[in-house]
């Protein structure tokens, strides 16, 4: 197989990174993709950094053994914990991480208030603190760790009374005083409708999926390994839990 035809490997703590995969397939429909969701070990965001590093290394090793030409860490938590380590381990492979879309949210307009929803791990790591330092003088930015939120997406529950109640519990203090929300965990874009229902349609949501897809394409082009073929690529879903998660993955990919 030619290098450019090799698949791009994605991984996440579960099915959330499919939001990033979706944006990447839209931008590069002719590439081949393998998506690995580690639903058996989800969530990552409440684990220790050491545990998430070990899981990330195991996921990357598995993808490399399948012959991928690039790795996308489609998880904010695993990016904070393990991106540098994976770049050292695979110096010849592009390793692309995700980060909360604070920059586009802050630059969207002058003033106002931005809320960043993410896992404890993402908000606690130095990578995030450095990102926040760059933009915190430009408008009011508030941080909200959301333990328990990704689990709804893992269960395939994206809308309805129960999840709405949960989201309302997280966001009720922010109603009426936040105009933009950064979805700083790759699971949360699947809850966009529910978040808007709770916060109001006028709240503007930002996620890192498109930016990550653009960075992936830039890196592939830079290394001359983008697939320039005209045919639609293949997408393969793998999951550490069971068959139901593969079905859920396909459902989320097409929703």
Binding site for ligand DGL (CB under 6 A): 12-13, 16, 42-45, 75-77, 119, 122, 150, 185-187
Structure tokens at 175: 């109603």
Q: Report how far residue 41's alpha carbon sits from residue 150's, in angstroms, rounded to the nearest whole number.
A: 13
Min CB(62)–ligand DGL separation in Å:
17
Catalytic pick from 4, 75, 139, 146? Answer: 75
Helices 161-171, 192-199: crossing angle, 10 deg rounding: 60
The nearer residue to ligand DGL, 185 or 199, going by C-beta atoms, is 185
Could you tell me the smallest distance in angstroms from the CB atom of residue 38 to ligand DGL?
8
Residue 190 Cβ vs ligand DGL, minimum distance, rounded to whole Å: 10
Determine if the peptide bond prior to 229 is cis (ω within 30°): no
**Is the CB of 122 or the CB of 240 nearer to ligand DGL?**
122
Is the CB of 121 or the CB of 225 nearer to ligand DGL?
121
Q: How far is the CB of 11 from ligand DGL (least distance, A)?
A: 10
Residue whose C-beta lies closest to ligand DGL: 45
DSSP state of 204: E
DSSP class of 7: P
> DSSP H helical segments within 108-182, as ranges?
120-124, 126-135, 150-154, 161-171
Active site residue 185: yes
Hey, what are 230's tokens?
A: 């005209």
Q: Catalytic residue positions?
A: 75, 185
């Amino acid at each position: 197989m030619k290098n450019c035809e090799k698949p791009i490997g994605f991984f996440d703590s579960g099915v959330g990174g499919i939001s990033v995969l979706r944006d990447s397939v839209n931008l590069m429909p002719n590439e081949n993709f393998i998506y690995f969701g580690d639903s058996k070990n989800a969530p990552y965001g409440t684990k220790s950094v050491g545990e998430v590093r070990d899981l990330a290394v195991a996921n990357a090793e598995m993808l490399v053994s399948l012959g991928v030409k690039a790795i996308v860490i489609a998880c904010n938590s695993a990016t904070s914990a393990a991106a540098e380590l994976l770049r050292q381990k695979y110096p010849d492979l592009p390793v692309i991480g995700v980060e909360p879309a604070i920059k586009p949210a802050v630059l969207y307009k002058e003033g106002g208030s931005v809320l960043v929803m993410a896992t404890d791990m993402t908000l606690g790591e130095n990578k995030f603190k450095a990102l926040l330092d760059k933009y915190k003088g430009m408008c009011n930015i508030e941080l909200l760790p959301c333990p328990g939120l990704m689990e709804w997406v893992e269960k395939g529950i994206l809308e309805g009374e129960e999840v709405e109640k949960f989201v309302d519990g997280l966001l009720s203090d922010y109603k009426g005083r936040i105009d933009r929300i950064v979805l700083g965990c790759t699971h949360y874009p699947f809850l966009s409708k529910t978040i808007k229902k709770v916060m109001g349609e006028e709240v503007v949501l930002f996620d890192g999926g498109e930016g990550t897809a653009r960075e992936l394409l830039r890196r592939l082009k830079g290394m001359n390994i983008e697939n320039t073929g005209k045919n639609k690529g293949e997408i393969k879903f793998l999951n550490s839990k069971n068959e139901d998660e593969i079905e859920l993955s396909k459902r989320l990919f097409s929703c």
